[in-house]
Amino acid sequence: MSDKGFTETMVPVGELSVDRQVQRSTVDFRKVERLKKTWNPNAAGLIVVSQRNAVDKIVIDGMHRYLAYAQLTDNQGEMLAQVFTGLSLEEEAQLFLDTNYGNQPTLLDKFRVRVVARDDVAVSVNRMVRAYGWDISNNAANGNVSAVGALERIYKIGEALELEPHLLQSTIMVITHAWGQERGGAQAVILEGIAALIAENDVNLDLKRLETALKTYPGGPLGLHTDATSLAALKQGKVSMAVAIQVTDHYNKGRKTRTLSPWRRHR
């Protein structure tokens, strides 16, 4: 919670608005409808608001309650709010994370707001991903990656191993050079499998050859995912590790020197 002071006051809902930079990216309209049907003003509680200036009052916590009550009152009602003034955008983002600690937004929404809050890991991950033309988004379209959990795990492994270039950077670079911004190449299991292969082999790995191996893999990222899923089921292992096995085998195919060692299948 911000250490800046706040006041508790009634705020007209018509003066409130939402900024997606410091809020969930989507509205749960079923939740809004449930709130409208069961609305109890005595149980509504306080919403949290950042007053940026004389005009802009931004809902930080309580978005669904605000939307429900605005609809119930045709935008004419008032809500009790904790109103903060003088917050920076970063402080608003951190306030959103703090007030939603026990009511967690999605991992992707948290990541997106952490970038605004200047969280070191989130900012670094976002920078590396965007450097290769990707956006972190749950929009199911090419050029978007939603696997923020995998991205952060790879980033932290890279930090621990002190690889240069960074493990996450190498992973994103390889899949982008191989498949462009094809969304299927940015699935969590493919990202983690390729990252594991790079980390395992490090100096013995020819990244250009790895890009070629991925580019020529039968069926592209979808074919790789399908083959790895089948292998993982057969071996009762992780799909991401099966990705590493499949790519290692394809990398070595037809190559007599500087091959990669068989994948450590016990991992």
Determine the angle formed by the axes of helices 29-37 and 63-72, rounding to 10 degrees.
50
CA trace torsion 239, 240, 242, 248 (10° rounding): 160
pLDDT at 240 over 50: yes
Burial of 218 per CB tally in 10 Å (0-12, 13-18, 19+)? exposed
State the pLDDT at residue 266: 38
Q: How confident is the model at residue 122 (pLDDT cuts 50, 70, 90)?
A: very high
Mean of the pLDDT values across residues 89-100?
88
In terms of C-beta density within 10 A (0-12 exposed, 13-18 middle, 19 or more buried), how is residue 117 classed? buried
Domains along the sequence of the chain with CATH: 6-108 (3.90.1530.10), 119-252 (no CATH)
pLDDT given at position 110: 87
129: confidence class by pLDDT, cuts 50, 70, 90 = very high
Q: Is 224 exposed, middle or buried (0-12, 13-18, 19+ CB in 10 A)?
A: buried
**pLDDT above 90 for 13:** yes
Q: How many CA atoms lie within 13 A of 89 on its CB side?
A: 11
**Per-residue confidence at 264, pLDDT binned at 50, 70, 90?**
low
Phi, psi values for residue 85, rounded to 5°: -125, 150
pLDDT of residue 184: 92
Instruction: Measure the CA–CA gap between 91 and 22, rounded to whole angstroms.
Output: 9
Q: How far is CA 22 from CA 58, 105, 164, 235, 259, in A?
A: 9, 11, 33, 44, 48
Give tens-digit pLDDT for 156-187: 999 999 888 899 999 999 999 999 999 999 99
pLDDT digit string, tens, across residues 22-78: 988 888 899 999 999 999 888 888 999 999 988 899 999 999 999 999 999 999 999
Q: What is the pLDDT of residue 267?
A: 40
Q: What integer pLDDT is reported at residue 84 of this predicted model?
A: 93
pLDDT value for 157: 95
* Cα pseudo-dihedral 210, 213, 216, 222, rounded to 10: -90
Q: Can you give the pLDDT at residue 258?
A: 66
Which is it for strands 47-51 and 6-12: parallel, antiparallel or unpaired? Answer: unpaired
pLDDT at 106: 82
Percent of the chain, pLDDT > 90?
67
Task: Determine the pLDDT at residue 174.
Answer: 96
Query: Given a cut of 60, is residue 1 above it in pLDDT?
Result: no
Output the six-digit token pair for 206: 């020819």
SS3 74: coil
Tell me how many degrees the CA angle 7-8-10 measures, rounded to the nearest 5.
125
Average pLDDT, the chain: 89
Q: Is pLDDT of 210 > 60?
A: yes
Q: Determine the pLDDT at residue 255.
A: 72
pTM assigned to the model: 0.70
pLDDT of residue 5: 76
